[in-house]
Chain A
């Protein structure tokens, strides 16, 4: 007798647990343990992990790094926009991408199968790094510089969409990465 909204029986703490519940808690509990272990294990058995590497910076310092990087490795201007440099850094090098309202700069040209240390930060507000159609997504904000080592396994033209709302021109904020064979 009784409801869930009336005071429980005096012995509620010592009543035996029903078997349906015991069975379910066992199955669900083991799965929870598995998921916890798997998330840790993926750092060793998986190839898609985020490094914990990040640095404090400022928009001024980071903006300068991007400028220097762009000046050093620019190979041409992008066909889509004569003011947009295409930068082809050597494999294994540090690559600097800057988000600002409303563009991801510069355009990159990478080689398939080669690794790059890609730095991501913002020069003003929060932005999103969303590589399409791969669908790889990171957060960018000012004052913090995130480093992810990326190795493209496909060639082609990839778009970078800003997927963190960053003001009225947000939907126009894009970038691009070319990956050559």
Chain B
């Protein structure tokens, strides 16, 4: 076999039976640990934001609040997530394809550039003259090294994508696997294609902005900035969606021996992401001047909602694959026996299922509704927007990543998790906290409360006015949820670091992978009503009805407003 000629030594992991390239393993560990460190930093900044927007606490002064908010956005939304995505790319491309990592030196360059870039931007923020929010809309200006750090970070991420692609090429050439790419590798490949598009847009807009901040060019057009920046900013979240959905599939396989119900359907849904997902950057531009309704409608709908359709498909096929595997293993009674008998106390599973539920019901439904051209007018820049994206990014991406990290610690570090009862609790603390935060922020946003705002009491302002008591209460409830999620996140970080440092070694004969069930004869043998996954279908219909009702409730509210034309 070609493998024996590869330069890197491998080990066979006893827990999973997978062959792991040791060079890749070191890089995966490094990226994952850096990710968790930045998660902790982002979480602390988030706690400060939450404790300031909680009206009764109002912790920070205005300067520090806007600084903490800038830091929270950049670190929690970009740095932590992209570091862990690098770990996922290296792990998936080597271990799942039974291949060595291409160009380890380039991979180390990725680590160095991303670390230096993140640190540079962090320093700029902490120096206090770059409290420009993650979006840094021109002509508001930050210090030059604020932009420089982001550019270095993005170049690092681009190199990481290149190493992933190089590994795919080596695996193909050396025939380390047979047939088509596994679905999980395919999903990661889709994410890297979106990443290249994203980073290119980041370069197109951040490099001129850096030159402008240095005084080398005269101005950057505010509209061009927003259009191109969002092709970077929104698309980077589409990388995350693709990555965390891939991780849903992966965990469903590891924890249940599940496989996709139909490879064809899941792969086509991923392909729709490449074709249409990036159009979503228009969501941020719906209230802007100068863009036509035709442009807005085409883009905001991802060309007739084809990317939404893709997400709705994954939302069915991932839990559906779990249901089919459970039914084949004998849990075939009624609609929901398979679900009741899931390992709810296992943090790898509970993180994943909570990620699916929060992403679908909170992030997904709100995202579809708020991105309607007209409904956006009652939501744009209100605190509804952070409500939405905490449902997608924190509840969806971060929670899914946490679950995979819990899984990978015994595999990569050969140590068991410490404080297992607390570890079982953390996904619930983080998930429920984020769910409360998201829903309450959406409620406050519906009442008009603005995002990125230090003082909604307008104390001392001549033109100030009072928000309804309900809006104040919603903000308090939201931030209580925020604090709960930070506690869950902090416990997660302690468990991860503690397990790496002082965790018990993994026992010699332990296994951490579930064998796939024998193929059954389709819906004749399992399921109900001619469906192999009837329970998932019922749950999907609950989501569907919720979405339809919420969609029309928003139009009903919209129709009571001033006439606008």
Chain A interface residues toward B at CB < 8 A: 1-10, 12-13, 15-21, 23-25, 27-29, 31-33, 35-36, 39-40, 42-43, 46-52, 54, 56, 78, 80-81, 84, 107, 115, 120-121, 124-126, 128, 130-146, 148-154, 157, 159, 161-168, 170-172, 174-176
Contact = CB atoms under 8 A, between A and B. Distances in A.
A48 B561 contact: yes
B452 interface: yes
A56 B286 CA distance: 18
Contacts of A135: 378, 382, 446-448, 561
A32 B305 contact: yes
Interface residues of B, number: 117
A143 B221 contact: yes
Interface string B377-414: 11111100000000000000000000000000000000
Contacts of A20: 261, 316, 320, 527, 531-534, 536-537
Nearest to B460: A172
Nearest to A131: B562
B216 interface: no
Contact of B312 (A4, A24, A151): A24
A124 B518 CA distance: 66
Contact of B563 (A8, A35, A47): A47
B565 A148 contact: yes
B148 to A, nearest CB: 22
B347 to A, nearest CB: 20
A140 B226 CA distance: 12
B88 to A, nearest CB: 12
B84 interface: no
Given A5-B183, A165-B452, A49 B293 contact: yes
Contact of A4 (B182, B373, B462): B182
Given A32-B308, A137-B377, A176-B463, A149 B536 contact: no
Contact of B140 (A28, A121, A126): A126
B288 A170 contact: no
Interface of B: 62-63, 66, 92, 96, 131-133, 137, 139-140, 177-185, 221-223, 226, 249-250, 252-254, 257-266, 285-293, 297, 300-301, 304-306, 308-309, 312-313, 316-317, 320-321, 368, 372-374, 376-382, 446-448, 450-456, 458, 461-465, 468, 516, 518-519, 522-523, 527, 530-534, 536-537, 540-541, 544, 547-548, 551, 555, 558-559, 561-565
Given A5-B185, A139-B380, 16 more contacts: A1-B259, A4-B250, A10-B179, A20-B532, A21-B313, A35-B551, A48-B562, A133-B448, A136-B561, A137-B382, A144-B222, A144-B288, A144-B289, A151-B563, A159-B464, A174-B462
A144 B288 CA distance: 9
B221 A35 contact: no
Given A35-B305, A39-B297, A168-B63, A24 B516 contact: no
Contact of A13 (B264, B266, B464): B264
Contacts of A168: 62-63, 66, 131
Contacts of B563: 47-48, 115, 149-151, 153
A137 B452 contact: no
A19 B523 contact: yes
22 contacts: A1-B516, A3-B258, A15-B264, A17-B262, A17-B264, A23-B531, A23-B537, A32-B308, A35-B368, A40-B297, A78-B462, A126-B222, A130-B381, A130-B448, A130-B450, A135-B447, A138-B377, A138-B380, A139-B380, A151-B562, A164-B137, A171-B453
A143 B462 CA distance: 28
B320 to A, nearest CB: 6
A5 B518 contact: no
Contacts of A126: 137, 140, 222, 226
B258 to A, nearest CB: 7
Given A5-B96, A19-B530, A126-B222, A163 B565 contact: no
A24 B562 contact: no
B62 A171 contact: yes
Contact of A125 (B139, B182, B451): B139
